[in-house]
Amino acid sequence: MKFRISLLVAAGLLVGALTLPRPAQAANKKLTIAFSFQDLETEFWVAGHKAIAETLAKRGFKVIEKNCSKDANLQLEQVKGLLTQNVDGVIIIPVDGELAVTIGKLANQAQIPYGVFNRPPSNKDAKALVVVADNRKIAADAVDYMAQQAKKLGRKVTPAIMVGDLGDPNAVGRRQGFYDIIEKYPDLWTGKPIEIPTKWDANVGLQNLQSAVQANPNIDFLFTSSDFLFPVIKSVLAPLGKWEKSGSKEHVILGGLDGDKTACGLIRDGYLDSTGVQNLFAEAEMITDAITASVSASEKTPEKWMDDHGFALTQANFKQRHLDMWGCRLLEGK
């Protein structure tokens, strides 16, 4: 008898837990934005994450953050979980452009506004608010300045590019911008550019750059698809006596893209010739403005692509424009 009563009590608890009336929502429930990002491995993503999270919090939104550590399936599962929590909007930095489409379709089905920061969806099958830098143009601006420096040498140079993960549209765009300049000045090069894969991984970049420099010791024109690789580049070039300031005989004409603190310091000190700058704070403002406006207007599947045209910070314009670069502002504590 007591056992049966105990069983009934346990069953009752279970039923109660399942059917417990949910606490009534507060009259003025804070709007919630879910922010899913792929990792915080580089200064750019750290600064971008901070800019977005702080802006949303300042505007009175509750922010739920999820880091998927570059695992695509995990990001998908996390966002599915976020959508079931009935968040009011979702901003993601996706693992890659293809995943941004898959996740976007889920958000569209759930009728929740969906924003993508900096790493655009690979196609427009899902409706999204997208902020993306014009990587091709920004890279071309940076490499064009490098080419002008190469012309001053009065000889041909051996070009190389450290390529990002080509699953990332950003990496594809930067590579295209580099090649635009290669094609623009066909007589400037000793041969075809040497491609050095990095897959956006410092270790992979290090190993491949070491091999490339061993195989091609004459490399003297090097563009990296992301500024986070500059410490890697220094570690390879310095022991070979090639980490020299601009104007020195052994200087390797060097360019990058992102605009982080490291790049700012290197341009200031003369090691780096130019870097393409994504206007990070403006991009963060654009995405938060767009998503909060959509949430406030109760739009379910807003769609808008917003471009950041960026610019190239070079040794020539450093004094005039360095504070336009987010990395320099961080470096100077501004």
Which positions touch other proteins (CB under 8 A)? 2-3, 6, 13-14, 17-18, 20, 22-23, 64-74, 76-78, 80-81, 83-85, 96, 98-99, 101-102, 122-123, 165-167, 172, 197, 199
Please identify, using beta-carbon distances, which residue of 31 and 74 lies nearer to other proteins: 74
**Tokens 């594809």 belong to which residue?**
172
Please identify, using beta-carbon distances, which residue of 96 and 144 lies nearer to other proteins: 96
Please identify, using beta-carbon distances, which residue of 33 and 253 lies nearer to other proteins: 33
Closest by CA to 200, choosing from 166, 159, 223, is 166
CB 52 within 8 A of CB 288: yes
* Tokens matching residue 87: 């968040």
CB 246 within 8 A of CB 219: no
Residues in the chain: 334
The side-by-side arrangement of strands in the sheet containing 311-314 is: 194-197, 158-163, 219-224, 253-258, 274-277, 311-314
Report, in Å, the least distance between residue 207 CB and other proteins.
13
88: burial class by Cβ within 10 Å (0-12, 13-18, 19+)?
buried
Report, in Å, the least distance between residue 148 CB and other proteins.
28
Please identify, using beta-carbon distances, which residue of 167 and 270 lies nearer to other proteins: 167
49, 52, 85 from 93: Cα distances, Å = 9, 11, 19
Report, in Å, the least distance between residue 176 CB and other proteins.
8
Please identify, using beta-carbon distances, which residue of 170 and 315 lies nearer to other proteins: 170
Report, in Å, the least distance between residue 179 CB and other proteins.
11
Look at phi and psi of residue 301 and say left if phi exceeds 0, alpha if psi is from -120 to 50, else beta: beta
Please identify, using beta-carbon distances, which residue of 2 and 29 lies nearer to other proteins: 2
Report, in Å, the least distance between residue 223 CB and other proteins.
18
| CA–CA separation, 159 and 285 (whole Å) | 36
Report, in Å, the least distance between residue 167 CB and other proteins.
5
Report, in Å, the least distance between residue 26 CB and other proteins.
15
Please identify, using beta-carbon distances, which residue of 6 and 218 lies nearer to other proteins: 6
Per-position b or e across 93-126, b if 16+ CB within 10 A of its CB: bbbbbbbbbbbbebbbebebbbbbbbbbbbeeeb
CB 146 within 8 A of CB 161: no
Report, in Å, the least distance between residue 92 CB and other proteins.
15
Closest by CA to 288, choosing from 19, 48, 40, 66, is 48
Please identify, using beta-carbon distances, which residue of 69 and 248 lies nearer to other proteins: 69
* Tokens matching residue 45: 């993503």
Report, in Å, the least distance between residue 111 CB and other proteins.
13
Please identify, using beta-carbon distances, which residue of 70 and 321 lies nearer to other proteins: 70
85, 122, 281 from 139: Cα distances, Å = 40, 19, 19
